């Protein structure tokens, strides 16, 4: 299967939107505040790196990674 750059960007944007929506709902913050916070994480940095192939994962997988990062549980973050 060949995945082009445009498809990767589309899927990544969709994942970011789904993760931000879930986090905003969970925390009661606005989507803008949530997006700003998410963009400062290592999880986000890895997600937007196409070579990580993280765009193949589900929003729940990304949320689990983010939870591990927020708790400084680096073993779990790397495991995920």
Q: Is the pTM of this model over 0.85?
A: yes
Q: Mapping DSSP to helix (H, G, I), strand (E, B) and coil, where does residue 2 land?
A: coil
The per-residue DSSP string of 13-54 comes to HHHHHHHHHHHHHHH---HHHHHHHHTTSHHHHHHT-GGG-G
Per residue in 12-42, pLDDT tens?
999 999 999 999 999 999 999 999 999 999 9
Residues 65, 23, 19: CA angle, nearest 5 degrees: 60
Task: Indicate the Cα dihedral angle 57, 62, 68, 72, nearest 10°.
Answer: 110
């Amino acid at each position: 299967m060949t995945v082009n750059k445009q498809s990767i960007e589309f899927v990544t944007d969709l994942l970011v939107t789904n993760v931000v929506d879930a986090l905003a709902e969970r925390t009661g913050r606005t989507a803008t505040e949530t997006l700003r916070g998410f963009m400062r994480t290592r999880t986000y940095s890895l997600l937007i790196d196409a070579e990580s192939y993280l765009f193949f994962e589900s929003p729940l997988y990304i949320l689990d990674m983010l939870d591990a990062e927020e708790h400084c549980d680096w073993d779990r973050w790397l495991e995920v």
